[in-house]
Amino acid sequence: MKRLSRKFPNTRSRRLRLNKTIRDLVSDVSIDKAKLIQPLFVSDLNSRNTDIESMPGQKLYSLNGLLKEIEILLALGIKTVALFPNLSGFTKDIVGSEAINPENFMCKTIQKVKEKFPELIVISDVALDPYTSTGHDGVVIDDYVNNDETLQMLSKMSINLASSGSDILAPSDMMDGRIGYIRSDLESNGHKNTILLSYSSKYSSNFYGPFREAVGSRQKKGISKKTYQMDYRNIIEANMKAETDINEGADILMVKPAMPNADVIRDLALNYSVPIFAYQVSGEYSMLKLGIDKKIFDNNVIDESLITLFRAGSKSVITYFAKWIAKKYD
């Protein structure tokens, strides 16, 4: 960027802040519904929607409830959803066997969703945590989340999710090599246009707490997710992950959590030629929502939180506030 020497009063920054119309004309970014993705939780047992206590305002949907909610979202202009299951209708095991059953609840759900709403873009999470007895995203062998054994499960799971109609697969497990493994299996199974949205910089974060309650994947004591998710003290590693993921066939990279990692979003957006998305995660949502509910701050804090992510360089944001924003700007 060109840096001129700018002197007062030739330059008065406040001229362009005079009123809203002028501020809108000169702003760098604005909120566009087409850039928001709504995460939705669906239960394999519930026959009606239930509230998620740790995430006020968010629901765990029944299958019918999910279909109704999607209809509402589409009418509001939210055209992309990320689906997460809360599963308890089967016995979870150490390898997460149910994840690779081509007729499991998620595969059937995605089929129903896409049948009813073919224009909806469905993002499916690829990770074993809803299926394993340990709550880990991979297969535990000898007290370690085994990388290479997990890849085979993730790849089979991906083929099933793609065959069921998912438009975008989002591996969130953080195993090494998974993007390449999944990409090559997708190609050889005819899924050439399935988009891989890699959770590339997925930090091992305390902000995921409310989500784990929502999907019932809170881990027992023992192995830490820190052995596979990224250390939040690192940013050079975020660049390394971006390089490996792009080389292995990722179309889009995700940074998560979003607000604490705006520097990472910026770095990746400037350094790499693929779109960068941000995930404003459950803890970020609950923190803002509880503050608003307690009248500690105004709900404009939601707009601000999203705008700053776009300004940092996110092309789209996954946010639990997507529906709320869509209503506000309807």
- Residues lying near ligand PBG in the complex (CB under 6 A) are found at 125, 127, 129, 137, 172, 208, 211-212, 281-282
Cα gap 193→235, rounded to integer Å: 31
- Nearer CB in complex with ligand PBG: 16/290: 290
What is the dihedral sign for C-alpha 262, 267, 273, 274? Answer: negative
- Nearer CB in complex with ligand PBG: 127/325: 127
Residue closest to ligand PBG when measured from CB atoms: 211
Cα gap 147→135, rounded to integer Å: 15
* Cα 222 to chain centroid, rounded: 26
- Nearer CB in complex with ligand PBG: 82/120: 82
Cα gap 131→260, rounded to integer Å: 29
Minimum distance, C-beta of residue 13 to ligand PBG, in the bound complex (Å) = 37
The residue type of 209 is G
Q: Is 253 helix (H, G, I), strand (E, B) or coil?
A: strand
Catalytic residue, chosen from 202, 225, 289, 323, is 202
Minimum distance, C-beta of residue 229 to ligand PBG, in the bound complex (Å) = 6
Catalytic residue, chosen from 92, 241, 256, 289, is 256
- 43-75 burial, b at 16+ Cβ within 10 Å, e below that, comes to bbebeebeebebbeebbbbbbebbbebbeebee
Minimum distance, C-beta of residue 169 to ligand PBG, in the bound complex (Å) = 12
β-pairing verdict for 316-319 and 36-43: parallel
Residue 141, token pair as written in the block: 């062998």
Minimum distance, C-beta of residue 127 to ligand PBG, in the bound complex (Å) = 3
For 19, other C-beta atoms within 10 Å of its C-beta total 7
* Cα 184 to chain centroid, rounded: 23
- Nearer CB in complex with ligand PBG: 208/324: 208
First to last CA, the chain: 36
- Strand spans (E) along 184-223: 195-202
Active site residue 108: no
Active site residue 202: yes
Minimum distance, C-beta of residue 183 to ligand PBG, in the bound complex (Å) = 19
Cα gap 257→318, rounded to integer Å: 10
- Nearer CB in complex with ligand PBG: 261/282: 282
Cα gap 282→288, rounded to integer Å: 10
* Cα 16 to chain centroid, rounded: 36
At CA 146, angle to CA 144 and CA 149, rounded to 5? 155
- Nearer CB in complex with ligand PBG: 181/208: 208
Minimum distance, C-beta of residue 130 to ligand PBG, in the bound complex (Å) = 8
Task: List, by residue number, the catalytic residues.
Answer: 202, 256
